[in-house]
Amino acid sequence: MWVHAFAAGMWEGDKFQGEGTYYYSNGDIYSGAWQRGVRQGEGVMMFAADESQLVGRWERGTFVAGKWIMKDGTSWHGPFKRGKPLGRGVYYFPNGTMQEGEYVQEGEAEEGEEDPTAELKTVWRGGAIVPANADAREVVRAPITA
């Protein structure tokens, strides 16, 4: 079995620095800003398994805010924590509607844990589904460039 990855972009001290694209061995692709070999700044991650994308801001290798675009065109716009939506945001649907709401964590946090919120259940609390207030072109899939 061949396992390989490919990278194209700017390098400094054997690490990605500046703009670049990394092709992961599982088919995922990240294209965007790097700092000392870590995703940092604006970028796009395309996941091969489900053809979804994360488009927005990365900090210390983790996606923190932007758009999560699914294969069918549904998209979530808002903040993320530990790579998952958390906080106030908006879902846009391919039929031209939208739903504002909030991802919240429920349950009891374990004391003494490194991150006591890590095991809490995340739940979507959405409002009414209404006609979208944004043009569909605002939520198109982002291009991956090498």
Q: With respect to residue 146, please indicate whether it lies within any of the assigned structural domains.
A: no
Claim to verify: residue 57 and residue 77 sit in the same structural domain = no
Domain that holds residue 36: 1-62
CB-CB neighbours of 75 under 10 Å: 24
Q: With respect to residue 35, please indicate whether it lies within any of the assigned structural domains.
A: yes
- Tell me how far apart the alpha carbons of residues 9 and 118 are, in angstroms, rounded to a whole number: 34
Q: With respect to residue 144, please indicate whether it lies within any of the assigned structural domains.
A: no
Question: What's the mean pLDDT in 75-86?
Answer: 92
Claim to verify: residue 85 and residue 54 sit in the same structural domain = no
The pTM assigned to this predicted structure is 0.80
What digits encode the pLDDT tens for the residues 46-69?
A: 999 999 999 999 999 999 999 999
Claim to verify: residue 52 and residue 87 sit in the same structural domain = no
- Tell me how far apart the alpha carbons of residues 73 and 70 are, in angstroms, rounded to a whole number: 5
Does 119 or 29 have the greater pLDDT score?
Answer: 29
What digits encode the pLDDT tens for the residues 14-28?
A: 888 889 899 999 999
| Structural domain total, the chain | 2
Claim to verify: residue 1 and residue 56 sit in the same structural domain = yes
Ramachandran quadrant class, 112 (left: phi over 0; alpha: psi -120 to 50; beta: rest): left
- Tell me how far apart the alpha carbons of residues 91 and 84 are, in angstroms, rounded to a whole number: 14
* Residues paired with residue 21 on neighbouring β-strands, in sequence order: 8, 31
Q: With respect to residue 18, please indicate whether it lies within any of the assigned structural domains.
A: yes
